[in-house]
Chain A
Amino acid sequence: MRALSVLNFAATLAAASLLPLAGAKAQDAYTVGVTAAMTGPAAATQAPVIEMLRIYVDRLNARGGINGHRINLLIEDDQAEPSKAAANATKLIRQDNVMLMINSSLSSTYGPVIAESKRANVPLWFAGGVCPKETHPPKPDPLLFCSTGFDFGVDIPVAIHAIKEMAKEPVKLGLVGIPVPISRIGVDTAEKLAAQLGMATVDKEFIPPATADYTPFATKMMAGNPNWGYAYAPWPAEAKTFEALRRLGWTGNYLAYGHIQAEDELKRIADGGLQIFTANALFQDNLPVHKEIREVAAQGKYSFPATYASEGWITGRALEQILTKAGWPASADKVAAAMSTLNLDTQGVRGGPMVWTADNHFRTKQYYRFYRYDPGQKSVIQTRDWLAVDVVD
């Protein structure tokens, strides 16, 4: 008798491949694949979106599904790592035959997922992660769509113009980002735009994520004496830099994009000089839909605070409309067609309806609200109502 050699192992593998695989899914449900950063560095921003989506879908299924059929939401974690996202996309598309792919992760995962989706002609929806240029008007890629609230192409001009408007004296700008290409590009764009508007940038800082102490970076920034700060990065970098600056005695104003955690964080930091702008209305606006979101989150045992759920909620409602329009029997083509006619009433969470057309898989108008914490009222207040911006490319 001979030892088990590598060759026999190969035989075992071959034999195993003949076994029916547990993954084969019956096509009597809408199969939707998701690759998302559920754990890992980007999870703080992405996981809440997908978890709320899952809760929303579970609720839909409990009420009988869509057009009488369940939605089979297959969620795969990619840890914001491109190779894992690629493997997920391969599995979901080739093995599970999904009719729609959702990607909620860092932009570094987009390349391979886009390639795989296009190879199989499956529509790909970016929900919660930054919107790639291919979804923008006037000629978006037919298969790529994006619903995420923020977009650096629009956010940055809005922010820089807002700073110019709000500033009561000549602006010396300090810019904050992280060493990830999109943040770098954003900060560089901000610098150029600020210069065009007559504002000088005194310092740019790119802070690595695993930093124990933000003070050294803040110290460097203070040397240039900025009176305004603008941050384009995930929330932790935005907020911690601000806090570090404050601790060094900085008294300037700071503007940052309000990511998912921003509302709770504003209350925690409790500083009137920190302003955020966001595409999703904060819960402090107390809209009827916010009550509904809270209830659904509580019922679904959402593991994050309810204030993190807006983006996921919108994604869920959009998915509902898309699949309803796609009808039954559905296919990737029908879903893509339905997506190109999306017209979703956002119930006040966004400044206007979310509209996708054949020429625009992003949106034609972007809306922002501005907020800050008011130490006098001890609550978050709205400093500017919906500012509409045309999306032109």
Chain B
Amino acid sequence: MRDGSPYAQELALFGTRARRIRLAAALAVLAALPFVATPFLLDLANQVLLACIGALALMLLTGFAGLISLGTAGLLAAGAYCVGVLVREVGAPFWITLPAAAVLGALLGLIFGLPSLRLRGLYLAISTLGLHFVVVYLGGEYEAREVLSTGVMIDSPSIGGFTLSSGRAWYFALLAFAALALLISVNLQRSRTGRAWRALRERDIVASALGIDVQRFKLMAFMVSATMTAVAGALFAYFRNFVSIDAFSLYLTVQYLAMIIIGGMGSIPGALLGAGFVILFPYAIEAIAAYLPERFSNMEFAIDYAAFGVVMILFLLLEPAGLMGIWQRLRNSFAARRAPAVLSRDRR
């Protein structure tokens, strides 16, 4: 494919000049952010970037391949504990622990994915739920056995003389990881694997009839997703400098599910939007809660839960296509007034 042919432009990620300009502008903004944001906002941005990785992983598994998994928190915990155990037991540096977390993730992905060969839908979700509790139990056992009253403390990763601990340094590191996750996701989506996954989601019997190796692609979906999630968990352990099993509750899984629903199922920008929304949501609620009577305003999490539940319900009832769906509708209401574009190249 030579540059300049219409297909090359389709296939390239940033084929058109317009896309490249927008990319440059966006990169400029992203690069400038840590220098203009307050420390608090920077921490928020870091949390969002970290969440993006997990959200993309879940989007690939559930949004694309249609395999429902309630195991996100368990996989995050596995990645985080991998780092915790290795650091604590052998003092391993990050360039060992991160790949180790990835390998552990792949292994767990295989285990979590095995039920998917026999079960579908609800029953698959239930099996991943069971696995979640098992992972959480194991983590709790480790913590208790090791006589840890404060979880596992982890030093910031360092290389040479440079230690990754400031908000800004983390921002760029997490931006790199998130960009990598994004790249992987986008490429998978456009590749043969992505198309196979989409076929799986629609009707796996038909997919099988078309010659797609259903079992292989199901397991691959689980493994890829779990690997990304475990790495996200490992990054979380380094970011917060500690690991403790209480952080990995079922509610965390629900939050990631909410990210891909609120963002818009099956859409990559949706995963990112959803991640941003779910992370920032509690802070918005807190700002509003300050106006409630004292007795309630201290029960931050109760208000958080209630509001989060309401928002999730509203999206599920009214806008199942999520934020991307809302955006599409807005777009269409504008587009209707223009000359119709026959083949919109800008569709992602």
Contacts and interface: CB of A to CB of B under 8 A. Distances in A.
A binds B: yes
Interface of A: 1-11, 13-14, 16-18, 21-23, 38-40, 50-51, 54, 58, 75-77, 79-84, 86-87, 90-91, 94-95, 106-112, 115, 179-182, 184-185, 301, 303
Contacts of A11: 25-26, 29
B266 interface: no
A2 B22 contact: yes
B29 A10 contact: yes
B300 A38 contact: yes
A209 to B, nearest CB: 12
B142 to A, nearest CB: 11
Given A39-B301, A54-B294, A17 B149 contact: no
Given A6-B272, A7-B22, A50-B298, A111 B150 contact: yes
Interface string B96-121: 00000000000000000000000000
A180 B144 contact: yes
A111 B331 CA distance: 48
B269 A181 contact: no
Q: Which 9 A-B pairs have the closest CB atoms?
A: A7-B26, A17-B37, A111-B150, A77-B300, A95-B40, A82-B244, A83-B247, A181-B149, A6-B272
Given A5-B269, A38-B298, A38-B300, 19 more contacts: A2-B346, A3-B269, A3-B331, A3-B346, A3-B348, A7-B23, A11-B25, A11-B26, A14-B32, A17-B33, A17-B37, A21-B41, A22-B287, A23-B40, A79-B301, A81-B244, A86-B242, A87-B43, A108-B150
B246 A184 contact: no
Contacts of B182: 6
A80 B41 contact: no
A77 B301 CA distance: 7
Given A83-B240, A112-B240, A38 B299 contact: yes
Nearest to B297: A75
B32 A94 contact: no
Nearest to B270: A6
A10 B182 CA distance: 14
B38 to A, nearest CB: 6
Which of A1, A18, A82, A111 has the most chain B CB atoms closer than 10 A to its own CB? A111
A39 B302 contact: yes
A51 B294 CA distance: 10
A88 B81 CA distance: 23
Nearest to B165: A119
Which of B40, B147, B246, B331 has the most chain A CB atoms closer than 10 A to its own CB? B246
A22 B38 CA distance: 12
Interface string B39-72: 1111101011000000000000000000000000
Contacts of A179: 140, 144
Interface of B: 18, 22-23, 25-27, 29-30, 32-33, 36-43, 45, 47-48, 140, 143-144, 147-151, 153, 182, 236, 240-242, 244, 246-247, 269, 272-273, 276, 287, 294-295, 298-302, 327, 331, 334, 346, 348
Contacts of A94: 39-40, 43
- The binding surface of chain B is classed by DSSP as helix
A77 B298 contact: yes
A354 B240 CA distance: 35
B23 to A, nearest CB: 7
Which of B18, B144, B236, B273 has the most chain A CB atoms closer than 10 A to its own CB? B144
A17 B45 CA distance: 10
B298 A9 contact: no
B240 A14 contact: no
B30 A10 contact: yes
A294 B22 CA distance: 65
B248 to A, nearest CB: 9
A111 B151 contact: yes
12 contacts: A2-B18, A5-B22, A6-B26, A7-B27, A11-B26, A16-B41, A23-B40, A82-B242, A83-B236, A83-B247, A95-B38, A107-B149
Contacts of A182: 149
A14 B36 contact: yes
Contact of B301 (A13, A38, A110): A38
A80 B276 CA distance: 24
B300 A39 contact: yes
A3 B347 CA distance: 8
Contact of A14 (B23, B29, B43, B348): B29
Contacts of A40: 301
A11 B244 CA distance: 34
Contacts of A16: 41
Nearest to A13: B45
A107 B150 contact: yes
Contact of A10 (B33, B153, B298, B300): B33
Contacts of A107: 149-150
A40 B348 CA distance: 42
B244 A108 contact: yes
Contact of B144 (A1, A81, A87, A181): A181
A208 to B, nearest CB: 9
A3 B327 contact: yes
A5 B23 CA distance: 10
A3 B331 CA distance: 7
Contacts of A112: 240-242
Which of A2, A5, A110, A180 has the most chain B CB atoms closer than 10 A to its own CB? A5
A81 B348 CA distance: 39
A254 B309 CA distance: 43
A22 B40 CA distance: 12
Contact of A9 (B25, B43, B246, B273): B273
Contacts of A109: 150
A128 to B, nearest CB: 14
A78 to B, nearest CB: 9
A54 B27 CA distance: 46
Nearest to A5: B269
